[in-house]
Amino acid sequence: MTHGKVTLVGAGPGDPELLTLKALKAIQRATVLLVDDLVSDEIVAFAAPGARIVYVGKRGGCKSTPQAFIEKLMLMAAREGEDVVRLKGGDPFIFGRGGEEVEHLREAGIAVDVVNGITSGLAAVTSLGVPLTHREHAHGVVFVTGHAKPGDSGTDWKALAATAHSARLTLVIYMGVSGAERIQDELLSGLPAATPVAVIQSASLPTQRHITTTLGELASAIREAGMASPSVIVVGDVISGVALAAAHPDAVRAA
């Protein structure tokens, strides 16, 4: 029996122009697409007219399609000889459960490829005209989730704060808005209250908006601005450049 194949495709942060060419070709070639909740309609529209599109949304705090069911759908379609694309927001291997899915598929004997996508943490800060790393302000960057799975204690924010302070790291926190108060309190154990912070909602989309604040005011600033998911929280001295970028909007501009 000849099986089909599965490709995990990163759709990027939402703007269809940020798709890679390889991602576009995979979407156009697919006979079945399993689409995440955060993938824009403009990207799904690249699918072939006869492709079967199945929405398998997964959003924190919302009713979600069980992961086991998604994996079952991928296996069934591949075993029927379909060219399956699992279309994910951002990058499949950055908080997209891509690693779990690849392991499950390979154990079942299904061929699987991965196409990277621009992750929202990168697109978010780029849209503000500032970098994630800078020779004077940040020697590295840490991508971390603010949302732990049930039964998991999650990120050790105090240890991370101490490391970020001593190593001069930018922290990019995904899925952290709902837990912002706890994250703020624990990061303050190792980072100054005056540390610059940006919160970017719906990065790269027409609905994008952001706030800049300090670590000491993070939770209250989120509440006052009504920031909601999907948002990225960026903590570090690189954010001090947002005001400069805003003062010179034509000097640096995200494509």
* Residue 152, pLDDT score: 72
Instruction: Render pLDDT for 71-101 as a digit per residue (tens, 0 to 9).
Output: 999 999 999 999 999 999 999 999 988 999 9
Q: CA 230, CA 37: separation in Å to the nearest integer?
A: 11
Q: What Cα–Cα distance (Å) separates residue 119 from each residue in 50, 101, 155?
A: 29, 18, 20
Query: What would the two tokens of residue 71 be?
Result: 């994996």
Do 144 and 115 contact (CB within 8 A), yes or no?
A: no
Strand partners for 169 = 140
112: CB partners within 8 A, 6+ apart: 5, 6, 7, 8, 101, 102, 105, 106
Among the ranges given (104-118, 141-155, 178-192, 216-230), the one the predictor scored with the smallest mean pLDDT: 141-155
Do 197 and 169 contact (CB within 8 A), yes or no?
A: no
Q: Please state the rounded mean pLDDT for residues 176-195.
A: 97
* Residue 62, pLDDT score: 54
List the catalytic residue out of 15, 58, 74, 83. Answer: 58
Q: CA 212, CA 215: separation in Å to the nearest integer?
A: 10
72 in catalytic set? no
How many CB atoms are located within 10 Å of the residue 26 CB?
21
Helix (H, G, I), strand (E, B) or coil at 168: coil
User: At what angle are helices 180-187 and 218-225 packed, to 10 degrees?
Assistant: 160
Query: What would the two tokens of residue 142 be?
Result: 């840490």
Q: CA torsion, points 35, 208, 60, 160, in degrees to nearest 10?
A: 120
List the catalytic residue out of 15, 36, 83, 91. Answer: 36
Do 124 and 18 contact (CB within 8 A), yes or no?
A: no
Q: CA 243, CA 97: separation in Å to the nearest integer?
A: 35
The answer on pLDDT for 163 being more than 80 is yes
In the sheet with 209-214, reading across from the earlier edge strand, the strands are 140-145, 169-174, 231-235, 196-201, 209-214
* Whole-structure pTM value: 0.90
- Any idea which residue has 């399609």 for tokens? 65
25 in catalytic set? no
The answer on pLDDT for 147 being more than 90 is no
Of the pLDDT bands very low, low, confident and very high (cuts 50, 70, 90), residue 254 is low
HSE on the CB side for 62, CA within 13 Å? 13
* Residue 246, pLDDT score: 64
Q: CA 86, CA 88: separation in Å to the nearest integer?
A: 6
State the average pLDDT for the chain: 91
Work out the percent of the chain whose per-residue pLDDT is above 90: 82
74 in catalytic set? no
Do 196 and 214 contact (CB within 8 A), yes or no?
A: yes
Of the pLDDT bands very low, low, confident and very high (cuts 50, 70, 90), residue 146 is very high
Among the ranges given (19-23, 34-38, 219-223), the one the predictor scored with the smallest mean pLDDT: 34-38
